[in-house]
Amino acid sequence: MGKCKIGIIGFGTVGTGIYRILKSRNDVHPILKDIEIVGIAVKNINKNRNIELENNLLIDDPNKLINDSNIDVIVEVMGGTDMAKDIILKSLKARKSVVTANKAVIARYGSEIYATAAKYGVYVLTEAAVCGGIPIIEPLKRSLKSNQINKIVGIINGTTNFILSKMTNEKADYEETLKLAQKLGFAEFDPTADVEGHDAADKISILSELAFGGRINRDSISTEGINQINIKDIEYANKLGFEIKLLAFSERNTINNKNSLSLNIWVGPSLIPKYHPLAKVDGVNNAILIESYPLGEIMLYGPGAGSGPTAASVVSDILNLQASLSKNLPTKDPLLSFNFWRDCHIIDFNQISKKNYLRIICLDSPGVIGKIGDLFGKNDVSIESIVQLDASENKAEIVVITHEVSNGNFEKSKEGIRALPEVELIASQLSCI
């Protein structure tokens, strides 16, 4: 088998991880020795880097790698969106296969990128873009292909899971824990993408496209992050037998549309019963539960961020390419490459049905729980539990957990509750599974 020559664009957390794997003496398959780094393009060659590099690998112009006829594969790990998208498209047009960890680009421009790869007869592989070190892209493309996927639900952002775990288990401060996640290399360059849920929305969009076969309009995914989470909600949830996690959810919906598959996709902080396998996923770990037919339910679990795990996913993609390039086949492997095979659409927010948690601050006066219950009943919202958890200085905190109800009916109930004279504020609302 010949050498697979690669050019790496970007040399941050993931890029240095790739270099370390390729130069290590770990006891791995000998095929790894056939990957050769031709060059690494960076913004600033003279920057102080905490890594010993072979001479002359660093260059400052990515085009030199893209246009180098010796190079088979471009590895894009520079991050960002517009420039990274241009680099990926240029590389594909130069007939180089691309390996990328860039979920923001794939979630927004995946269809253009997949189509360009198909047109130029090359691959674009994205294992590292979703859930760091966990193999999820390749299983969805190949190993699970004989199953009808019905639902994917997961914890797919390591930074927010790290923060929520520390807030739950150690009563840690939100801001300090976020800083620690940044220092450990888990968070995005701009951590608002993590804490506001956008990183998870990018990832569930990519997973849904692979699982259901149709293009997803990334911008219509209802997305909420953990930045509004109050420590009280964590405490109350724990008291009632739940953990709070940032969940990404994608499910086939029964709403019938002959021409397009209806999907219910959302991202939001959610209560999970403590006995549920996802409730036990702590720290930077991710987990994805996939329900399919005839397989049933499986869960993939492991480190969802960080230099080593993410770089390992990049290198496994390079190995896939090396194996496929060395076969020199005239046509591409139809499963390893990816093409849409149907239309999908996300159902309207008001049509989504789910369980909800609501924390209401109100006057501690007789009959208020009855009035709240009444409003839910009038709007066809069935309540699983309603409790008063804290009462001081005439104020009470009422926590409601509903059964699965439509967002539309739930929102109407909230309007009524807000208008009650005893109600001061709806302090928080979370999803439940």
**Contact region with ligand HSE (CB under 6 A), list: 54-62, 137-145, 154-162, 332-340:** 154-162
Q: Which of 194, 243, 251, 317 binds ligand HSE (CB under 6 A)?
A: 194
Residue 3 annotated among the catalytic residues of the structure? no
- The answer to whether the CB of 6 falls within 8 A of the CB of 100 is no
Cβ burial 2-24 (10 Å sphere, 16+ → b, else e): eebbbbbbbbebbbbbbbebbee
Q: Which of 66, 271, 305, 362 binds ligand HSE (CB under 6 A)?
A: 305
Q: Is 126 annotated as a binding residue?
A: no
Instruction: Please state the closest distance from residue 258 (CB atom) to ligand HSE, in A.
Output: 36
Half-sphere exposure of 25 (CA within 13 A, CB side): 0
205 lies in the site for ligand HSE, by CB under 6 A: no
Return the number of the residue (310 or 324) whose C-beta is nearest ligand HSE. Answer: 310
Q: Is 17 annotated as a binding residue?
A: no
Q: Which of 91, 100, 116, 157 binds ligand HSE (CB under 6 A)?
A: 157
158 lies in the site for ligand HSE, by CB under 6 A: yes
Residues in contact with ligand HSE, total (CB under 6 A)?
11
76 lies in the site for ligand HSE, by CB under 6 A: no
Return the number of the residue (134 or 319) whose C-beta is nearest ligand HSE. Answer: 134
127 lies in the site for ligand HSE, by CB under 6 A: no
186 lies in the site for ligand HSE, by CB under 6 A: yes
As a residue count, the chain comes to 433
The catalytic position among 5, 85, 96, 203 is 203
Q: Is 249 annotated as a binding residue?
A: no
Peptide bond before residue 294 is cis, with ω within 30 degrees of 0: yes
Phi then psi dihedrals of residue 104, to 5 deg? -60, -40
Q: 422 Cβ partners below 8 Å, 6+ apart?
A: 362, 363, 365, 368, 371
199 lies in the site for ligand HSE, by CB under 6 A: yes
Opening angle at CA 288, ends 213 and 127, nearest 5 = 60
Q: How far are the Cα atoms of 53, 119, 271, 359, 374 from residue 397, in angstroms, in the given order?
A: 58, 59, 18, 7, 18
**Annotated binding-site residue numbers:** 9-16, 103, 188
Active site residues: 203
